[in-house]
């Protein structure tokens, strides 16, 4: 869908066409790759986003309607923004109920809303992807103006970019986006070479606790194996889906089952297979697990995503989701480990609290002014909360807080 033709002005910005795309496949894969780059984090690579759409994990029926924005020059896109039209706030992990409540008080319709993130993955790194030879600041402004016009024409109340890339954030802020800070957990491996180094960061009492938790898993007769690449056959990925489904079902109405089995199957067929790591808890064959966790890595970073178990074994969750991935990350020279959203218990295990920013645009003047007036105080309180949490951590590392 063509929504704008830009002509005149600076030569570099002339003859550009803005199009909205209802599927990733409307943008040729090689063009997407050239814009995102070979070193892009896995969650924004073509294979990952296409698998979400192809598996119907992301669809209009699920309340996620793909609406990617691309800026074209002739038949070549020079910038893309992964975007979705959302009919709810589930699967975002940035809890905007306060904004929805304000919209209701103002008798405004909060949904649908425009959303920029890698769906269902609370991982820092969202940005507009711009060709290296283009002016990124100008194209960021142009794309935001296009989004503003689209929202106004379609009576959309807000556009929200979640878990934004810190390097892209200043460009979007300069173009008028408002910043809201929230909290995530991260383990930095700087100065750590093995699991013993990790343990030595703790006091004697916590070292005993961690050793006791790992011992409980060992006494249950379980071993942990990391499986990746060619080791990930279809049956194993289907088994991981079963664990994921069972774990979500345990929470009943509170469960967060978003992904279909075909998404897990797709991870074994794509180049992303080398970036998937399954941690299998087993007694004999690693491919006959009693529990598994699924992580994603890119050689520098490790992200924890999903897990499940068919046996109730004391401390198994900590082993499969934290300790074994930490040990593997240190062995492979990984620089940081993001264990996923939620859980203050992570801080006790060396994960530091860290701010992450979401950027917002509201298209009602009353709502916009009220939230922008509130945000500085909210962000200051979040920084204080993060500092307080990290004062209790044995891993004293200076983190940027803005």
SS3 402: coil
CA distances from residue 175 to 59, 114, 137, 138 in whole angstroms, order as listed: 30, 17, 8, 9
Q: Read off the pLDDT of residues 150-205 as tens digits, 9 standing for 90 and up.
A: 999 999 999 999 999 999 999 999 999 999 999 999 999 988 999 999 999 999 99
Checking if the pLDDT of 233 tops 80, the result is yes
Helices (H), ranges, 42-126: 46-54, 97-105
Instruction: For strands 68-73 and 64-66, give the pairing.
Output: unpaired
With beta carbons less than 8 A apart as the criterion, state whether 144 and 172 touch.
yes
Domains of the chain: residue spans and CATH:
2-183+355-391 (3.40.630.30), 191-334 (3.40.630.30)
Does 10 score more than 50 pLDDT?
no
The pLDDT assigned to 340 comes to 87
Tokens coding 339: 């264990």
> What is the structure's pLDDT at 260?
96
pLDDT of residue 11: 43
Q: Taking a C-beta distance cutoff of 8 angstroms, is the pair 94, 182 a contact?
A: yes
User: What average pLDDT score do residues 196-223 get?
Assistant: 95
The Cα-based distances of 52 to 15, 30, 139, 212 in angstroms read 33, 18, 27, 39
- Angle among Cα 330, 335, 336 to the nearest 5 degrees reads 95
Model confidence, pTM: 0.94
Q: Please say if the pLDDT value at position 43 is more than 90.
A: yes
122 touches 303 (CB < 8 A): no
pLDDT surpassing 50 at residue 7: no
> Strand 129-130 relative to strand 76-81: parallel, antiparallel, unpaired?
antiparallel
């Amino acid at each position: 869908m063509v929504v704008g033709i830009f002509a005149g002005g600076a030569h570099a910005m002339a003859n550009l066409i803005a199009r909205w795309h209802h599927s990733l496949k409307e943008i040729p894969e090689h063009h997407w790759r050239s814009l995102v780059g070979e070193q892009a984090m896995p969650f924004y690579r073509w294979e990952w986003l296409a698998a979400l759409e192809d598996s119907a994990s992301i669809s209009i029926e699920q309340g996620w309607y793909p609406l990617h924005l691309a800026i074209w020059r002739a038949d070549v896109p020079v910038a893309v923004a992964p975007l979705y039209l959302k009919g709810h706030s589930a699967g975002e992990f940035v809890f905007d109920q306060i904004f929805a409540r304000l919209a209701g008080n103002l008798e405004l319709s909060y949904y649908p809303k425009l959303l920029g993130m890698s769906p269902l993955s609370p991982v820092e790194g969202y940005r507009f992807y711009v060709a290296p030879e283009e002016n990124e600041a100008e194209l960021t402004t142009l794309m935001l103006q296009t989004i503003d016009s689209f929202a106004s024409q379609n009576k959309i109340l807000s556009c929200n970019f979640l878990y934004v890339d810190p390097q892209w954030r200043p460009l979007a802020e300069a173009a008028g986006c408002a910043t809201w800070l929230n909290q995530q957990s991260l383990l930095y491996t700087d100065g750590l070479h093995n699991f013993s180094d990790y343990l030595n960061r703790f006091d004697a009492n916590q070292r005993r606790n961690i050793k006791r938790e790992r011992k409980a898993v060992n006494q249950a007769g379980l071993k942990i194996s990391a499986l990746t690449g060619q080791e990930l056959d279809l049956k194993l990925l289907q088994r991981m889906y079963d664990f994921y489904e069972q774990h979500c079902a345990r929470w009943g109405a509170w469960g967060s089952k978003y992904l279909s089995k075909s998404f897990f199957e797709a991870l074994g067929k794509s180049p992303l297979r080398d970036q998937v790591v399954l941690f299998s808890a087993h007694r004999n064959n690693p491919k006959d697990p009693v529990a598994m966790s699924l992580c994603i890595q890119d050689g520098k970073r490790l992200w924890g995503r999903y897990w499940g178990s068919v046996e109730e074994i004391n401390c198994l969750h900590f082993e499969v989701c934290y300790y074994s991935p930490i040990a593997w990350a240190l062995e492979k020279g990984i620089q940081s480990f993001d264990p996923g959203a939620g859980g203050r218990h992570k801080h006790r295990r060396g994960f530091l609290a860290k701010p992450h920013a979401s950027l917002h645009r509201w298209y009602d003047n009353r709502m916009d002014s009220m939230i922008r007036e509130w945000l500085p105080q909210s962000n200051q309180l979040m920084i204080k909360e993060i500092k307080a949490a990290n004062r209790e951590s044995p891993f004293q590392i200076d983190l940027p807080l803005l």
